Structure 1
C-alpha cells in the first residue's frame, strides 16, 4: 500500500480545511483511531499533534538561527515552571485556535470540551513557577535565545482535596497518559554524583589536584518542551531532567529472590524527580530536597558547557555567549558547581574559574523572609557534596578577607557576610552564596529591592554596593488576557484596535474611553458572563450556589501566614456577625472566593484552610444572612483554575503584611482583567498604585516602615484586640467553637498566636481593613464609578507585561540583544 502523501504543518492563520486534513491524518496515524470511535482524549491528542507540528519547524529554525549567529543564550534555572496546559496556549500563539475550533466542529467535537481535559503540568506551586513560565514564553516572543532548565517531576506538587474542611494531599498524576508536548533527548544524559570523598592526585606539573570520587551516581535524562512565542516568531526550549539509575536492576539479587532489594537503587535514584518540594521536616526529606537541587543544577551546567565547547571551543569565552539566571536560591549550588566543572574538568585556575562564574551567573531573590532563604547543615553538605563544600570554604575565605578590609568591619559584620552561619548549628547560607557568585542580584519590585538592600543583604550590599538592581515582575498577556478572557480581549480590540496585542502598554489607549457609557455596559457584560461561568464551576466543585450578580471578592494564592488569608476570614466572621444583627445595613451581597495550597508540612497554614471551610459551612447554611454573604474555598488551585477565577473577580485581595511580599503577580493578573485591588503598600501593589492612580486602588493598613517601627517600640496585640470590638468578638466566636462544634478547641492555638505575638500584624491592620471593605461596599453601589475604575485598571497595567521585564533583564543583567520585531518598530 503506498504511503499517504505528506501534509505540511498548517501555516499561521491556516484555513479550517487545511487544519481539518491535518487533524484527520493525526487522529489516524499518530493516535490510531477512526473518527467514528474516537473519544475526547483522542481528539485532544490529535489536535495537540497538529499544533505541535506547526511549532516544530519554527523551533528548529529558531535553534539554527541561534547557532548560525552565535548569539548569546540565556539559561534560566528554576526548580519550578508552572506552565499549566499547553494546547490552548500554543494554538493561540500560532493563531490556530479558530481554525482548530471549526475543524473539530466538523467532526462534532467542541474545542473547549477537549481543552478542559488536558492535565495541568504539575511543575510548580505559585508565583515563582508561574513567573518562570511567563519569562520563557516572553523570551520566545521578544526573540531572546533561551533555554529553561528544571526537573521533570513525575507527580509534581500534590493534588489538593478538601475532606471535612481539611487539606488532604494526594499524588498529582499528570503524566499518567503521556505528554504529547515533550521530546526525550537520549543523547543529553549526564552523570550526577553524590557523597564519596575528595582525593588528591598529582597533576602533570607536580601540583596536587583534588579529585571527587562520588559514592553514588545517577543519570539525568533530558526531556525538551518547545515554548512558542506570540505569532510563532520564535520558539524557546524548556529542558526538564528526569533521574534514572545507572543500572535499573541488580539481576543477581533478583534471581536470589530479593525482588525488592534488586530495584532499591533504581527507586532511590528515581525518587529525585518524583515529587516537587518533598516535605523537609525530616532529615531524609532535607537530603532529598538538596539532592534535587544539585541534580538539576549540575545537569544543566554540564549541558550548557557541552554546548558552549561544541560551538565555541574555549570555555574562557563562556560569559560572552551564556547568561545563567538563578531563579531564587534553589539552584544557588550552581556557583560552586560551575567553579568545580571549570577547575576539575576543564583545567582552569581558581582565579579564572571564579571570575568566569561570577560574570556568567546572576541571581533573582524572591523573599525577604530569613527562613525562606535556604540554608543547609554543613554536615549534610560535607557528606553529600564534599567537593562543593571545599569550594564554598575557599570562596568564603576570600570573601571574609575582602570584608575585613572595609573600614569599620567588626565581628558582627564579618559574621553577617559569611557563607557559613555559625550561630544556628553551622549552616551554609545559599542566598549569600548566590549573591557572591553573581555579577547582578535583582529584586522583583521597587519596594522589595529597596528592602533587600536594607535588610537581608545589607551587609553584602555594603561590600558590593552596585550589585543589587530592580526588575519588577511581569505576566504574559497572551495567557492572562487573550486566552483567559477572550470576551474582554475582543471588546478591547473593538474599542482601541489590535496594537495592544503586540505591545501591552498600548492598553493605555483604553483610558480615553473609560467614561463611555456603552463601553462601561459592555465591560460589565463581559465580567458578568465570566462570573456566571465561575458560579457554575463553584456549584459543580463545591455544591455551593452563588449569585453571579454579587460582588466577587477573590483571594487566590499560596496559603501562608504573611499573605494573611487569616485577616480576610476574620473580617468575614465580623461581617457575618454584623449582617445577622442588622441585614439592612449591608445592601451589597458578597461572594468571598478563596483558593490556594498550603505546604504539606505547614501545619498552621493548613489550619487556616480548615478555618475558612468551617466558617463557610456555617455562614452558607445560615438563613439569617439572607444571601448577603457566601464563602467558598475552591480546591486544587492551579493555572487552569486561575484562568477561570481571575476574569470573574471584581475585587482583588492583595493584603500581605507590608514589607513581606516580594512582588506578587496575581495582583497584576487580576488588575489586567478589571478587578479593583484592595491591598497594603507591599510588593508590586506600590507600582500598581502609581500606574492606575491612587483613586483607583484601595490601600489600607501599615506600610513597611510603620511595621518596622511598631515592632521596634513594642507591639502589644492583646491591647489592640481588646480595643477592636469586632475583632475581639470574631476571635471569641472562633475560640469558643462556634464554627467547630465537634471540636471546640480546634482553633485555640491559632487564636492564641494573635494574642501572644501577631507577627504578621493581623490585629494591627484589622480595623483599617474592615473600613476599607466598607469603602468597597459604598463604591460597589455606584456602578458607574466602579466600572470606570475597573476599566482604568485594565488600561494602566500593560507595563506589567513580562515582555517588558525580560527586555530589562536582557539589557542590564544578561547583556543579550533581543530581536526587534518589525511589528514593534515605529
Structure 2
C-alpha cells in the first residue's frame, strides 16, 4: 500500500507548512500551555531589558537589540537556579566531575535554554504579542563555534547530559576570541574568514575577574631546601568566563568555565627606561594571544609553541581552580580548609577529553609535590586515581607528540616530572618483562627516533586509572593497535564508553514536528530516557502513524528546499531523496567515494536519458583544515562536479549535488531533520565513533555505512535488515593490506569506476585547467589509495542501488525509518554519561529535581530581587 497517491503529490503541501511548524514549536515544551500571567511577565522583562540593559526603545532598536533583550530575558530564568545549584553542591559536598576539553562546539544557546527550562510556549506567545518573530531573532544568535567537529560537539552534549542527570559537573575549556573559521566558497575553493563570534558580545557568559589566576611559562628550575622550585618564569593571567548549562526540567544549572588569557597588570620597566612604551604594550598583546584563536585542525597535531601553551594554560588554570574548590569546600557539617589530599580522588574526578589536556597529569604532580609537600609516591597514587583519559582516534597523525627541546624551554619543570614518570614507568615494565628491550623502547613515553618527542597518549594511559575508547570497535582496536603493550600490562584500565548525543537539542529542539508526533503515541518520557523510543515499534503496523511520520519528513524537506533556494539560489525537488554527508573534509572520511558515486549516477543518466531513476539530491558539507591541501582540493572537485551536473539539461531534477557552505551546529539543526539518507562511509577501522550518524538515525534518516565506529552498534540495535552496510570489515582491510593492496586492479576491473577517474584525470570536470585534479587521481591510483576507496567502490554502488529500490516504496521506507528511530535509544549522551559515572567517576546521577528557585511563580522578572529579599528575611 502506498502512503499517498504518488510521491509528487505527496510533496504538494500547502504554503501553510511554515505556519504549521511555528504552531508546533509552541508545543516543544511538551504540551506546555502558555499561562497568561507568565506571558505578561516575559513581555515586561523583555521591555525592561530593552530599556535598561540595551538603553534602547522600540523606535531605534535593531533586530539584534531585540535578540539581546530576549537572551537576557531567558537568562533571568537561569540565574536563581544557577546560584541555587552551586549552593546545593556546596551544602551536600558531592564528588565533583571536571571535564577538561580544548573544544566545546556549543552552537546556539537561546532555544536550547528555553527547551530545557520549559518556557518556550510563553516566550513564543509573548514575542508574538509584541509583534516579533522569534525564529528571526533566533537566527541572529552567533554560533559559539569553539570546536572543530565531533570532539567539541560531544563535549557540549556531555555538559547537557551531566546537568540533566544532576551531576556536580564542570566543563573547563578556553574562551577563544575567534572560533572555528567561517567558510565561504569562492570559485569552488574554500576561503577562510575569521569567526569574530564575540563582535556583538555574548549574553550567556559572566566574567569572573575575581577568580583570575596566574599561569607560568618558561623560566628554570632550582633546588631549594631539597625541593624543586620553578623560578624566573613569565606570568600570564587566566580570567574565567562562566556560562550556565541548564539540565532538562530539573532546575539544575551547571557551569562551563572558559579561560581567557590576560597580560599581567605590570609593565616591563626596562622598556620604560629605554623609552620604548609601545614595545611594552605590544608585549602585553602577545601574552593574550594564547586564547586568541582556536586551532582549526581536526585529527592533526600542529607541534607549535602556541598550541602547547594553550594546552598548559587550560590545565594550569583549571587545576588551581579545582584545588581551591577542594580546599575550601564544606566538609561534612563543618567549613574547613582541607589539607589531606588523600581525599582528593574521593571528591574530584578529572576526565581528559583526548590528549589535549594531558598536561593535567604532570601539573597535578607538580602542585602536590612542589607546592603541597607530598612525596612522589603519595602524589602519583592521588593523580592516577583522580585522572581518566578518553581516546578519540586511531589515526597515527592525531596522537600528540611534543619535541622535548621546545617542551623543556616552555615548561622546564614539567619536563623533569615527565622524565621521572617515564623512569619509574619503565622500571615497572622491566620488572614485568625482564630483558625485553624492544618492549621498553615501544612503551617509553619519550620517543627517540627522529628527535626526542613526548608521546602524550602514552602519558595519559600511564597517568590515568581508566582509559576508554568511544565505540566498542574503537575500544577493541585500541587494545591491539595503539596501546597494545599497555593493554597487555594493565588490562584493567581499559574500557569502552560508546558516544551519544543529547535528545534535547537533536530531536526535541531541531525537529519539533517529529517530537510532537512521537509524544502523541508514547508520551514524553523519552526526552530524558531515550530507550523509551522502543515503544514506537508497537506502531509499525499502524498505517496512520506511518503516514504521519512520512508527512513530518516531507514538511522538513520542503522547509529545507525553501532555505536552499534562499541561501544557495538552487531549486531542489523535495520529492527527491535527500542524501547527506556532513562532517570535516578529510581523506579518511571518504567524501571522494561519495563524489565517485555521484559521477557514476551522472554517467548512467547521460548514457540512458530516457531510463527511469530515483531522483536524488546529494549534499556534502564540512570544513577543511586551512593547511590541508588535499581536503581543499576535494572541496574544489565537489564544487566543479556540482557545476556540471546541476546545469546539464539532460539530467534535469533527477540528480543534484550541493556543497553546504560553512557547515556548523545551527546549519546541522536545519538539515538533519530533512535527511533521507545518512552517509557514514569511512574505511572500517578509521572512524573512532561518529556522532553525526546518531543524529541522523534519531531524526529518521537511514544509514549507508561501513562496519566502522558506532555504525557497528547501530546495526546491532536496529538489525542488519534496517541499515545499508557495505564494504570490507576491519579484518578484511588488514588482510588486504597484508596481501598487498593494488588499487589499479579495481580500477581496471570496474568500467564505471575507470570512467569516473578517467574523466577527473582528463579534465572533464575542470575544463579551465585539465591538470587540476591530477593529484587526486594520483593519490588513488599511484600512491596506494590508503583509505581503499577503490576496493569498496563496487560494494558501495550496489548498496546505493538497494537504497534506490526501497526509496520508491514510501511505506516500506518509512517503516524502516521508524525502526531506526525506535532503536536509537542507546545513543543518548545521558546513557553515555551514566556509564562514565558508574564505571569511571564513581558518582551517582541525581534524578530528582532540585527545589524551585524560590517560593512563587517561576519566571518572574524580579526573580533575583525576590530571592534576595527572602534570604534577607530569613
Counterpart of 1:6 in structure 2 is none
Return the offset for 1:263: 2.2
Q: Which residue of 2 aligns with 1:784?
A: 811
Pick aligned residue for 2:795 from 768, 772, 790: 768
Relative to structure 2, which stretch is displaced further, 362-371 or 502-511?
Answer: 502-511
- Match of residue 869 from structure 2: none
Which of 774, 778, 781 is equivalent to 1:752?
778
Residue 36 of structure 1, CA deviation = 4.0
Q: Name the residue aligned to 1:292.
A: 310
Instruction: Give the conservation status (yes or no) of the 8 Å contact 1:194–1:214.
Output: no
Matching of residues 515-554 of structure 1 within 5 Å:
515-554=541-580
Task: Give the 3-state SS of the residue equivalent to 2:432 in structure 1.
Answer: coil
Residue 87 of structure 2 corresponds to: 64
1:205 is matched with none
The CA distance in 2 between the partners of 1:416 and 1:91, in whole Å, is 52
Partner of 1:500: 526
Deviates more, 1:257-266 or 1:813-822: 257-266
Give the match for residue 355 of structure 1: 381
Cα deviation digits, residues 558-615 of structure 1 (max 9, x gap)? 1111111011111111111111111344521100011111111111111111111111
Shift in Å at residue 267 of structure 1?
A: 2.0
CA contact (8 A) 1:358 1:439 kept: yes
| Conserved 8 A contact 2:252-2:849 | no
1:202-241 Cα shifts (integer Å, max 9, x gaps): 2xxxxx2111124322111000001001014311100000
Q: 1:282 to 1:522 in 2, by over 3 A?
A: closer
Counterpart position of 2:676: 650
Query: 1:234-270: per-residue Cα shift (whole Å, max 9, x none)?
Result: 1110000000110476688589775652322222111
Q: 2:635 aligns with which of 609, 634, 641?
A: 609
**1:54 Cα deviation (Å)?**
0.7
CA separation of 1:347 and 1:408: change in aligned 2, threshold 3 A: closer
- TM-score, with normalisation over the residues of structure 2? 0.90
8 Å contact from structure 2 (residues 33, 122) kept in 1: no
Aligned residues: 809
Which residue of 1 is the match for residue 866 of structure 2? none
The alpha carbon displacement at 1:24 in A equals 1.8
Gaps of 5+ in 2: 1-28, 332-337, 851-874
What is the CA deviation profile of residues 137-163 of structure 1, one whole-angstrom value per residue up to 9, with x for unaligned ones? 100001110000000000011111111
CA distance in 2, matches of 1:385, 1:424: 21
Comparing 148-157 and 47-56, the one that deviates more: 47-56
- Output the CA distance in 2 between the equivalents of 1:182 and 1:281: 29
CA distance in 1, matches of 2:505, 2:592: 30
Change (3 A) 1:13 1:801: farther
What's the secondary structure of 1:630's corresponding residue?
A: strand
Residue matched to 2:760: 734
The question of whether the paired residues in 2 share the 8 Å contact of 1:278 and 1:288 is answered with: no
> In structure 2, what is the Cα distance between the partners aligned to 1:280 and 1:562?
12
Local SS of the residue matching 2:614: coil
Determine if contact 1:74/1:325 at 8 Å carries over to the other structure.
yes
Specify the alignment match of 2:464 in structure 1.
438
* Paired residues of 1:143 and 1:233 also in contact (CA < 8 A): no
Deviations 1:484-505 (A, max 9, x none): 0001001111122122123111
Note if 1:198 corresponds to 2:224.
no
Question: 8 Å contact 2:241–2:259 — kept in the other structure?
Answer: yes
Q: Residues 313-462 of structure 1 correspond to what in structure 2 (within 5 A)?
A: 313-314=338-339, 315-407=341-433, 410-462=436-488
Q: Is the 8 A contact 2:215 2:236 kept in 1?
A: yes
TM-score, length-scaled by structure 1: 0.95
Secondary structure at 1:715 match in 2: coil
Aligned to 1:5: none
- Per-residue CA deviations over 1:480-523 (Å, capped at 9, x if unaligned) read 00000001001111122122123111111111112322112211
Match of 2:253 in 1: 235
Aligned residue in 2 for 1:175: 198
Query: How many Å apart are 1:355 and its aligned residue?
Result: 0.7
C-alpha distance in 1 between matches for 2:315 and 2:389 = 14
- In 2, Cα distance between equivalents of 1:218 and 1:638: 32
The structural deviation recorded for 1:408 is: 6.5
Matched, 1:148 2:171: yes
Structure 1 equivalent of residue 158 of structure 2: 135
1:74 to 2:101 alignment: no
- Stretch of structure 1 that moved more, 500-509 or 109-118: 500-509
Distance 2:298 2:409 in 1: 17
- Per the alignment, residue 282 of structure 2 pairs with 264
Secondary structure class of the residue paired with 1:187? helix
- The structure-2 alpha-carbon separation of the partners of 1:511 and 1:254, relative to structure 1 and needing over 3 Å to count, comes to farther
Residues 656 and 680 in structure 1, CA contact (< 8 A), matched pair in contact too: yes
| 2:145 corresponds to which of 122, 131, 144 | 122
The change in CA–CA distance for 1:550 and 1:249 in structure 2 (over 3 A counts) is farther
The 3 A distance-change label for structure 1 pair 175 and 802 is same
Cα distance in 2 for residues equivalent to 1:702 and 1:521: 36
Would the alpha carbon gap of residues 178 and 251 (structure 1) be closer, same or farther in structure 2, given more than 3 Å must change?
A: farther
Find the residue that maps to 2:666 and give its secondary structure.
Answer: helix
Distance 1:785 1:72 in 2: 49
Q: Is the contact between residue 578 and residue 674 of structure 2 (CA under 8 Å) also seen in structure 1? A: yes
Structure 1 residue 398: Cα displacement: 0.9
| Secondary structure of 1:147 counterpart | strand
1:244-263 matched pairs, under 5 angstroms: 244-247=262-265, 253=271, 258=276, 260-263=278-281
1:347, distance to aligned residue in structure 2 (A): 1.1
Is 2:814 the counterpart of 1:803? no
Q: CA deviation at 1:293?
A: 0.5
Note if contact 1:59-1:226 (Cα within 8 Å) is conserved in structure 2: yes
Query: CA separation in 2, counterparts of 1:425 and 1:583?
Result: 60
1:277 corresponding residue in structure 2: 295
Q: Displacement, 1:39? A: 2.1
**Aligned in 2, Cα 1:804/1:768: closer, same or farther, shift over 3 Å?**
same
Structure 1 residues 670 and 282: CA distance shift in structure 2, 3 A: closer
Indicate conservation of the 8 Å contact 1:154/1:275, yes or no. yes
* Aligned counterpart in structure 2 of residue 579 of structure 1, from 595, 602, 605: 605
Report the alpha carbon displacement of residue 822 of structure 1 after superposing the two structures with TM. Answer: 7.1
C-alpha displacement at 1:174, in angstroms? 0.6
**Local SS of the residue matching 1:624:** coil
SS at match of 2:811: helix
Unmatched segments (≥5 aa) in structure 1: 1-9, 203-207
SS in 1 for 2:646: helix
Structure 2: how far apart are the matches of 1:645 and 1:664? Answer: 17
Question: Equivalent residue of 2:644, what SS?
Answer: helix
Q: Say if 2:62 is the partner of 1:44.
A: no
The answer to whether the Cα contact below 8 Å between 1:541 and 1:634 also exists between their aligned partners in 2 is no
Q: CA deviation at 1:821?
A: 2.9
**Distance between the aligned counterparts of 1:57 and 1:210, measured in 2?**
45
Q: Is the 8 A contact 1:242 1:273 kept in 2?
A: yes
Aligned partners of 2:188, 2:266: CA distance in 1, in Å? 42
Whole-Å Cα distance in 1 between the matches of residues 45 and 79 of structure 2?
15
For 2:447 and 2:33, the matched residues in 1 are separated by 56
| Contact 2:34–2:125 under 8 Å retained in 1 | no
Any idea what the Cα deviations from partners look like across 1:341-370, whole Å, max 9, x if unmatched? 111111111111111000000000000111
How far apart in 2 are the matches of 1:585 and 1:788?
A: 28
Distance 2:192 2:266 in 1: 29
Choose 791-800 or 259-268, whichever is displaced more: 259-268
Cα 1:726–1:404, aligned 2, differ >3 Å: closer, same or farther?
Answer: same
| 1:649-679 deviations in Å (ceiling 9; x for gaps) | 0000000110111110000000000000000
Determine if contact 1:403/1:409 at 8 Å carries over to the other structure: no
Evaluate the alpha carbon distance shift between residue 799 and residue 356 of structure 1 in structure 2; reply closer, same or farther with a 3 A threshold: same
Distance 1:279 1:681, change over 3 A: closer
Residues 687-719 of structure 1 deviation map (CA, whole Å, 9 limit, x = unaligned): 111111111100000011111111011111111
